[in-house]
Amino acid sequence: MSEKLAIDGGTPVLKRSDYSNWPIITDDDRRFIDEVLDSGIVAGGTAPQVAAFEQEWAGYVGAKHCLTTTSGTAALHMALAAVGVGPGDEIITSAFTFLASASCALHQNAIPMFVDIDPRTYNMDPARLEAAITERTKAIIPVHIQGLPADLDPIMAIARKHNLSVIEDACQAHGAEYRGRKVGSIGDIGAFSLNNFKNLCGGEGGLFVTDSETYLQKGVLVRCFGDEIDEVSHRRVYNASILGYMYRNQELPAALARGQLLHLDEHNAVRIANAEYLSRELGKIPGVIPPHCPPDSKHVYFMYNVRFDPQAAGLDCEPRRFRIAVEKALYKEGVLVGQWQTMPVPAQDIFQSKLGYGGSSYPWSINEAKGIRYDYNVDNFPVAKMLCDTYTVVHGIHAPNGKALMDQIVTAFHKVFGNLDQALAHADAAIYPGADSKLYGAG
Ligand SMILES: *Cc1c(COP(=O)(O)O)cnc(C)c1O
């Protein structure tokens, strides 16, 4: 059943117009945004939409307290400040994540450390965690990668044993569940992002979630200049008691996120149905490895990725080259595929150069001056490296895309895998797979 691939001038299986964008705007968004415009109140840490959304999100994840922030990165930084991380402390996160899971440590003058991932879940491997802990370790930031909860029970147990804080980076996992509990509510603090790609969108923004009254109070201070509030008048007193930042969000993102929250479960259900359908169908193709979800987790598929295995496809080809060839051929068939992270985070230039504040070696120099060496050798993260060589993201699994689009994607995969020799002939062609700039949803 040899067919001419689109990469060889054949007809592509999909058109760009077969894809719908993310997020989906509904009348609920319009209603809340109209409330903002009608109220004339556009900002303020205790303004009505912000206050309502904080309560609604705390209720949704089952946490006592929530603070809205300007971004997920801000929420992570606030969390480190709230648990008392200081200069030279070490913070452990996953080697396969977005930069912000690690750069938040640098923002607090602390030093990011990385743990390799589990080859099936792509989340921090708890079996490797203890080896990364030193007397300087202060906190662990497990990341619920691509919407799949990290294995929190062993991570929490190790953290408690060593008296470390756990900050969940739940920026990709709104509504995901670990052993029956919503992520973000399990560690000491949870951080979510509301940027336009994420499962819950406010345009931009973030959420800081905790059960702890102490961390809440610290979070309130850090979020707004470290400025104390008068207990009687509830006004700012313009007397900063601690170092703070300006991480307060405003009414319009909160209003949009409230409207989106009314549809989060329904939209997550679409992602899950699309992902499970793709996994069932693509899993039948030798050489395609769908994502794994442990039975006691609810994966919300912020991103859907597959890995490619040339041997299983019956080819003697270097795995990275095979992935690149298949990715290019799929892309030419009209499938929006392409990589998100192209390397483990510790391989990024900032960690290789260890140049931080003002181009100096600070904050690493705090401990290096005492003879401690930081070596972000990528060979220490072989599983994350293997994943980055062999995976691609299959975009477009979010609502309102459904089975019709998934079927076309499956057809294109069959077409490419039925003609791998043609695909491999173009491995070095100048083709750049990825979501185009008009597909705003990453997942
Ligand atoms: C998106 C994201 C962040 C940062 O969120 P922003 O709101 O863009 O600052 C942090 N960690 C992970 C894993 C993310 O995917």
Q: How far apart are CA 306 and CA 199, in angstroms?
A: 19
One-letter amino acid at 20 equals S
pLDDT per residue of the chain (443 residues) written in tens, 0 to 9 = 578 999 999 999 999 999 999 999 999 999 999 999 999 999 987 799 999 999 999 999 999 999 999 999 999 999 999 999 999 999 999 999 999 999 999 999 999 999 999 999 999 999 999 999 999 999 999 999 999 999 999 999 999 999 999 999 999 999 999 999 999 999 999 999 999 999 999 999 999 999 999 999 999 999 999 999 888 988 889 999 999 999 999 999 999 999 999 999 999 999 999 999 999 999 999 999 999 999 999 999 999 999 999 999 999 999 999 999 999 999 999 999 999 999 999 999 999 999 999 999 999 999 999 999 999 999 999 999 999 999 999 999 999 999 999 999 999 999 999 999 999 999 999 999 987 766 555 44
pLDDT of residue 405: 98
For the stretch 27-66, pLDDT in tens is 999 999 999 999 999 998 779 999 999 999 999 999 999 9
pLDDT of residue 439: 56
Q: What Cα–Cα distance (Å) separates residue 215 from each residue in 44, 51, 134, 189?
A: 20, 18, 24, 8
Q: How far apart are CA 22 and CA 195, in angstroms?
A: 11
- Of the candidates 294, 323, 72, the one whose C-alpha atom is nearest the C-alpha of residue 176 is 294
pLDDT of residue 262: 98
pLDDT of residue 236: 86
Q: Which of 69, 171, 189, 256 to mutate to test the pocket of ligand 1 (most atoms within 8 A of CB)?
A: 171
CA of 72 to the centre of ligand 1 (A): 5
Would you name the residues annotated as active-site residues?
198
CA of 195 to the centre of ligand 1 (A): 8
CB atoms within 10 A of CB 43: 14
Q: Which of 106, 172, 196 to mutate to test the pocket of ligand 1 (most atoms within 8 A of CB)?
A: 172
For the stretch 378-393, pLDDT in tens is 999 999 999 999 999 9
- Of the candidates 165, 189, 224, the one whose C-alpha atom is nearest the C-alpha of residue 76 is 189
Domains of the chain: 6-23+264-341+385-440 (3.90.1150.10), 27-262 (3.40.640.10)
pLDDT of residue 97: 98
Q: For the stretch 319-342, what's the b/e string if a residue is b when 16 or more beta carbons lie within 10 angstroms of its beta carbon?
A: ebebbbbbbbbbbbbbbbbbbbbe
- Which protein residues are within 6 Å of ligand 1, measured from CB? 71-73, 97-98, 100-101, 143, 169, 171-172, 193, 195, 206
Helix (H, G, I), strand (E, B) or coil at 32: helix
pLDDT of residue 443: 42
Q: For the stretch 163-194, what's the b/e string if a residue is b when 16 or more beta carbons lie within 10 angstroms of its beta carbon?
A: ebbbbbbbbbbbbbbbeeebbbbbbbbbbbbb
Q: Give the position, in ligand 1's atom list, of the atom nearest the Cα of 193.
A: 7
CA of 100 to the centre of ligand 1 (A): 6
pLDDT of residue 229: 87
Q: Give the position, in ligand 1's atom list, of the atom nearest the Cα of 198.
A: 1
Torsion from C-alpha of 332, 416, 430, 16, nearest 10 degrees = 20
The residues facing 295 across adjacent strands are none
Q: How far apart are CA 369 and CA 366, in angstroms?
A: 6
pLDDT of residue 2: 74
CA of 73 to the centre of ligand 1 (A): 6
Q: Give the position, in ligand 1's atom list, of the atom nearest the Cα of 206.
A: 7
Helix (H, G, I), strand (E, B) or coil at 269: helix
Cβ neighbors of 436 (< 8 A, separation 6 or more) are 16, 336
CA of 184 to the centre of ligand 1 (A): 14
